[in-house]
Amino acid sequence: MSRDLDVLVVGGGSFGTALANILTGLGRRVRLWVRREELAVEINSRHTNSRYLEGLNLSPSLVATTNLEEGVRGSPAILVVVPSKAFRDTAKELGEYVTGDQIVVHATKGMENGTFMRMSEILREETCAIQIGVLSGPNLARELVAGQPAGALIASRFDAVVDAMQSLFKGGMLRTYGGRDVVGTEVGGTFKNIIALAAGVADGLGLGDNTKALLVTRGLSEMARLGVVMGADVFTFGGLAGIGDLMATCGSPLSRNHQVGERIGKGETLDAIIASMTHVAEGVPTTKAVYEFLRSQNSELPIVSAVYKLLYEKLSARQAFDQLMTIPVGGELATLRFE
């Protein structure tokens, strides 16, 4: 099979566009697959993505396409960067063209509602890909497009996947570190969205740095407790895919999840916030998925429960924080058990 590309990036949102832009700037042969023809035209002619990266210019060499089959068949490596709610449908489309010798890495941070599956599990179910991995870390898209230094973790059971991705990003401002803990990397990227919502609510309520430090550290504890019982290596959460991602998204106004939480804290309704946004805030569906997954295991994590009730049971922001502060205090390093 003829392959004239280095990588196909699937997904024209802010993060997918940012990653494709980085790779293009490094001289890689890249195609960015987008679903809407008008977006492909804008990227190819004006070198912008005004819907997701307003005010930023992209590399003139970045080429977008709406032809998924051509892109897949032309590339040895595929980087999937779509919202979690669209991930399975996209994986099914990829499954029509992907071959077993291609590398498929995703950069989606979420858990599928209903099945509670991680994105790598969906890729295995919907495609014949064997060499699968995940890219995650503190990667705010606007900063990436602006060329600011950043780091990411690439995790896979296959050394060839890590080597290929590190080779693609070599020489740029996004430093890619390698690892084998796919579960921990995915759990970290998923869970940090929930904590970022909570941190945003704290800001919206006018609470201080002590409160946010409490949320982030207890959020990290909840992340690690969930990850470990799912089979993750606890040390993963002390790196880029854990505390690193939490630091970026819980304190930055560029974080969509933080933005949503802050607006809730200031009194706006979730429905009104979502209606006003062009971007996806993964924390909203992710909170529901993680909460229901925990309930299916007869288990609970306090911050997850508080954010769920805030989003889906109309609990006020102040009530949510009051509930968190009345939970009995146990050992700081308590473990999570599933029944």
Which residues, other chains included, contact 159 with Cβ-Cβ below 8 Å and sequence gap of 6+?
none
Backbone angles phi, psi at 103, to 5 degrees: -90, 130
| Residue 337: predicted pLDDT | 62
Q: Tens digits of per-residue pLDDT, 228-253?
A: 999 999 999 999 999 999 999 998 99
Domain extents in the chain = 7-180, 191-326
| Alpha carbon distance 82, 137 (integer Å) | 16
- Is the pLDDT at 117 greater than 90? The verdict is yes
| Residue 2: predicted pLDDT | 53
Where residue 218 falls among pLDDT bands split at 50, 70, 90? Answer: very high
Residue 43 identity: I
Where residue 123 falls among pLDDT bands split at 50, 70, 90? Answer: very high
Give, in words, the CATH class of 7-180.
alpha beta
Q: Beta partners for 103?
A: 77, 131
Active-site hit among 192, 212, 266, 314: 192
Across all residues in the chain, what is the average pLDDT? 95
Mean pLDDT for the stretch of residues 62-84? 97
3-state helix vs strand vs coil in the chain, percent to 5: 50, 10, 35
Name the CATH architecture for the domain at 191-326. Answer: Orthogonal Bundle (1.10)
| Alpha carbon distance 21, 43 (integer Å) | 11
- Is the pLDDT at 185 greater than 50? The verdict is yes
For the four alpha carbons of 78, 110, 259 and 280, in that order, the dihedral sign comes to: positive
Tell me, yes or no, if 109 is annotated catalytic: no
- Is the pLDDT at 221 greater than 60? The verdict is yes
How many helices, marked H, and strands, marked E, lie in the chain? 15, 8
